[in-house]
């Protein structure tokens, strides 16, 4: 099931301070033509310890490779696309950095037009019906599950829903407030006169699923139906990990909910996380070069070799975790 992936990659631990590893720092030798000459290079193990440490907000400072040019630090914050009261109470450490930023970069620049685009993309417009694709039995399972989850759709809409769209509706958590963490950040930024930009378009995000072959969409839908009983528990575990700033635990929960079919699991990870990570990384570069930018993306876009934290470090930025209270 994609519960955690969709909430966190969509979303996002405390770090260990440099003082704890100061004896292990080595400096790049300019005479050897090494890159990133301005910053010390921290051993990989010390960075992993910092990123895995729990108990703090999922917030990192990004310092430009050339510290002598006066570029102000930027920040990257791991979010979770939910409206739970505990996460909607945004930590002071986040508010403080957001309020002085020049630009807020989110996965999407949220706007009303996006909802219209999403609806159009979710429906078959070529005469096909969902029942023809998944069969009456699975169709009725989807219909009943949507009713139970409060996501009931009119019959004429449900019948032309694409399999990937049915899957997303099945795993979508209940949202009574009509908002979520990322939207609240955008609202706060606009109120403060901060420029808000999206790292992706609605069409790009929806194409992550819409471009998947129809047979694979059906396979992912079946995998989701089979694990619906675990949805509430998975969300609770995910929320607890997020609130505790435990990025490693978030990854573990997401991994445990992968489709049993390894090919499908690889496909969804590639499309939902890895390809989008590269696209978002590329698009944040202009603002990071300018500095004083606040980036907020789903927490599961941050970790791993292909995660944004590692991509930033490999590009020469110094990336350090913000401890609670800083």
> Is residue 29's pLDDT more than 50?
no
- Which element (helix H / strand E) includes 251? helix 247-256
Q: Is residue 283 part of a domain?
A: yes
Q: Is residue 12 part of a domain?
A: yes
> Is residue 133's pLDDT more than 60?
yes
Q: Is residue 159 part of a domain?
A: no
Q: Are 198 and 186 in contact (CB under 8 A)?
A: no
Residue 126: CB atoms within 10 Å: 5
Candidates 38, 29, 42, 46; CA nearest to 64 is 38
d(CA 201, CA 82): 20
Confidence band for 91, pLDDT divided at 50, 70 and 90 = very high
d(CA 246, CA 248): 5
More confident call, 41 vs 138: 138
d(CA 48, CA 52): 6
- CA within 13 Å, CB half, 15: 21
Q: Which two tokens stand for residue 127?
A: 């005469």
Confidence band for 117, pLDDT divided at 50, 70 and 90 = low
Q: Is residue 317 part of a domain?
A: yes
Q: Is residue 289 part of a domain?
A: yes
> Is residue 68's pLDDT more than 80?
no
- Number of structural domains, the chain? 1
More confident call, 160 vs 231: 160
Which residues neighbour 192 within 8 Å (Cβ) at sequence distance 6 or greater? 98, 99
Most confident of 14-28, 118-132, 140-154, 188-202: 188-202
Q: Is residue 149 part of a domain?
A: no
Strand blocks (E) in the chain = 26-27, 40-41, 59-63, 74-79, 103-108, 195-200, 293-298, 318-321
Which residue range(s) make up the domain with 7?
A: 3-112+176-211+231-321
Candidates 210, 239, 308; CA nearest to 3 is 239
Candidates 303, 253, 279; CA nearest to 5 is 253
Which residues neighbour 138 within 8 Å (Cβ) at sequence distance 6 or greater? 221, 222, 225
pLDDT for residue 7: 60
The sheet that has 103-108: what strands, in order across it? 195-200, 103-108, 293-298, 74-79, 59-63, 318-321
Q: Is residue 235 part of a domain?
A: yes
pLDDT in tens, 266-283: 999 999 999 999 999 999
> Is residue 244's pLDDT more than 90?
yes
Look-up of token digits 């292990």: 24
pLDDT in tens, 49-60: 445 555 578 999
pLDDT in tens, 159-189: 999 999 999 989 887 777 778 999 999 999 9
Arithmetic mean of pLDDT, 22-47: 34
d(CA 275, CA 300): 13
Q: Is residue 89 part of a domain?
A: yes
């Amino acid at each position: 099931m994609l519960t955690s992936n969709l909430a966190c990659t969509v979303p996002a631990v405390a770090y260990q301070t440099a003082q704890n590893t100061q004896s292990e720092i080595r400096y790049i030798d300019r005479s050897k033509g090494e890159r990133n000459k301005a910053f010390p290079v921290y051993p990989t193990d010390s960075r992993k310890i910092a990123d895995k440490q729990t108990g703090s907000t999922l917030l990192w400072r990004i310092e430009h490779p050339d510290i002598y040019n006066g570029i102000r630090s930027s920040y990257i914050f791991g979010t979770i696309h939910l409206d739970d009261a505990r996460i909607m109470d945004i930590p002071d450490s986040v508010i403080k950095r957001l309020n002085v930023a020049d630009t807020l970069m989110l996965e999407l620049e949220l706007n009303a037009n996006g909802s219209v685009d999403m609806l159009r993309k979710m429906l078959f417009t070529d005469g096909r019906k969902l029942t023809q694709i998944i069969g009456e039995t699975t169709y009725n399972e989807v219909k009943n599950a949507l009713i139970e989850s409060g996501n009931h759709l009119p019959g004429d809409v449900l019948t032309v829903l694409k399999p990937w769209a049915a899957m997303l509706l099945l795993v979508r958590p209940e949202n009574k407030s009509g908002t979520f963490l990322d939207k609240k950040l955008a609202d706060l930024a606009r109120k403060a006169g901060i420029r808000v930009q999206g790292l992706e378009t609605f069409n790009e995000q929806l194409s992550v699923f819409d471009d998947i072959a129809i047979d694979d969409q059906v396979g992912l839908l079946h995998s989701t139906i089979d694990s619906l009983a675990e949805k509430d528990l998975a969300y609770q575990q995910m929320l607890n990990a997020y609130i505790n700033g435990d990025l490693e635990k978030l990854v573990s929960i997401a991994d445990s909910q992968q489709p049993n079919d390894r090919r499908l699991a690889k496909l969804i990870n590639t499309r939902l996380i890895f390809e989008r990570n590269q696209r978002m990384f590329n698009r944040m570069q202009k603002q990071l070069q300018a500095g004083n930018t606040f980036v907020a993306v789903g927490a599961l876009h941050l970790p791993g070799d292909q995660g944004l934290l590692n991509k930033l470090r490999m590009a020469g930025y110094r990336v350090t975790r913000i401890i609670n209270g800083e």
